[in-house]
Amino acid sequence: MAGHPLAGARGVPAIELRHERIVQREPGSGTRAMLDTFLAMHRIEPRERLTVSGNEMVKHAVMSRLGVSLTSMHTLFLELKTGALVRLDVDGTPIVRTWYVAHHAGRWLPPAAASFRDYLLDEGARKVATETRLLLTAEPAPA
């Protein structure tokens, strides 16, 4: 969130998150699993955790200054561009994950679904990569 004490700092040690309230996704979420792995890897026990359902709830909780979160960057493009949220430069982030598009191999894929698949694999992937690169190379927002 804008105005956070770590906003604008570079190379923040992950252990500094131990002082934060963590806003996390619900159990079963891939983002939650990634957060749990990240915290365990850095031996971080946050002072408090707030669990919410869905990416929109995470964003709104952080914008309401209820804590910080580890969230997929593609869900934050608008908020990062407008300054509603800021990316903290924490060591070990961003965490790069591979996305997969899957469908049943033995079933016919309707034309609309095939077009959507093709868009995701081509133009959509290129757009996400471009937006992510721009946000990661931007100067951190001032505190």
pLDDT at residue 139 greater than cutoff 70:
no
Tell me the pLDDT tens digit for each residue of 23-74: 999 999 999 999 999 999 999 999 999 999 999 999 999 999 999 999 988 8
Q: Please list the residues that pair with 22 across neighbouring strands.
A: 49, 68
pLDDT digits (tens, 9 = 90+) for 80-132: 989 999 999 999 999 988 888 898 989 999 999 999 999 988 888 888 888 88
In contact, 87 and 135? CB cutoff 8 Å: yes
- Name 24's bridge partners: 51
Select from 92, 107, 108 the least CA-distant residue to 34.
92
